[in-house]
Copies of this chain bind each other. A is one copy, B any other.
Amino acid sequence: MEPSKNAVVLLSGGMDSAVALALARRRGFEAHALTVDYGQRHRAEVSCARRIAAALGAARHIVVELDLRPFGGSALTADIDVPKDRALGRAAQEIPVTYVPARNTILLALALAWCETLGAEDIFIGVNRIDYSGYPDCRPPFIEQFERLAQTATKAGVEGRSRYRVHAPLLDMSKAEIVRAGLAAGVDFSLTHSCYDPTPENLACGRCDACILRRRGFQEAGIPDPTPYAP
């Protein structure tokens, strides 16, 4: 039997990256989960990420501290209100204020660093373009450009020993499809956190974009959402 290949899996603690981790495991990778604590409001994510990594059998889990708050510019890291009760649709073109500048570029760069020390060439990221069509760094041209960059940025890439691949298995799934794929791959969604703006008791607000998309996903999949929402 071939030994398993190592992969680095970006794991936020939300539902999408948990499903990405489960799918990486299903495809036979030794998953090295990477979480970035970037000063986000919804830091409950980080402890969720720890539980998810353990539950899904990650070989290792690193939490990198990276404070992005000095840059400002996002409702997730700056003192800007998280929008509530927005009408969300697949046609949403505007980039929401919850976008964190260059976030996925930064996350993939960190994943690439770990790949280099691990000798891995596979990165999993739970981006999805259906619900977040407004985020530039959740689209295929971005993913493809990053693969090309990885090839020229690294020792193993330049020497032709590694062929870097960024796997985005959820790219074209609806939220309901993500729920179903996650259940099929053994994700315990009660360990995942989506809300951008939880209450002090860590109940999900139920009204931010992330809560709305999550609730709708479970609803459309016909599966109960285990999230405790604020009344």
Instruction: Specify the chain B residue showing the minimal Cβ separation from A62.
Output: B70
Instruction: Indicate if the CB atoms of A149 and B152 lie closer than 8 Å.
Output: no
Instruction: Indicate if the CB atoms of B145 and A157 lie closer than 8 Å.
Output: no
Instruction: Specify the chain B residue showing the minimal Cβ separation from A102.
Output: B113
CA distance A81 to B145 in the complex (A): 35
Q: Which of A66, A95, A136, A149 has the most CB of B within 10 A?
A: A149
Please indicate the chain B residues that have their CB under 8 angstroms from the CB of A157 in the complex. 136
**Residue from the list B116, B142, B150, B158 in contact with A153, Cβ < 8 A:** B142
Instruction: Specify the chain B residue showing the minimal Cβ separation from A106.
Output: B109
Size bracket of the A interface: 35 or more
Instruction: Specify the chain B residue showing the minimal Cβ separation from A112.
Output: B102
Asked if A51 is at the interface of the complex by the 8 Å CB criterion, the answer is no
Asked if A155 is at the interface of the complex by the 8 Å CB criterion, the answer is yes
Instruction: Specify the chain B residue showing the minimal Cβ separation from A67.
Output: B65
Task: Give the contacts of A145-178 with B (CB-CB under 8 A).
Answer: 145-146, 148-150, 152-155, 157-158
CB distance from A11 to the nearest CB of B (A): 14
Instruction: Indicate if the CB atoms of B113 and A71 lie closer than 8 Å.
Output: yes
Instruction: Indicate if the CB atoms of B117 and A136 lie closer than 8 Å.
Output: no
CA distance A109 to B111 in the complex (A): 12
Asked if A105 is at the interface of the complex by the 8 Å CB criterion, the answer is yes
CA distance A66 to B153 in the complex (A): 19
The 9 closest A-B pairs by CB, nearest first: A73-B117, A102-B113, A101-B116, A101-B113, A109-B109, A105-B109, A106-B109, A102-B112, A145-B149
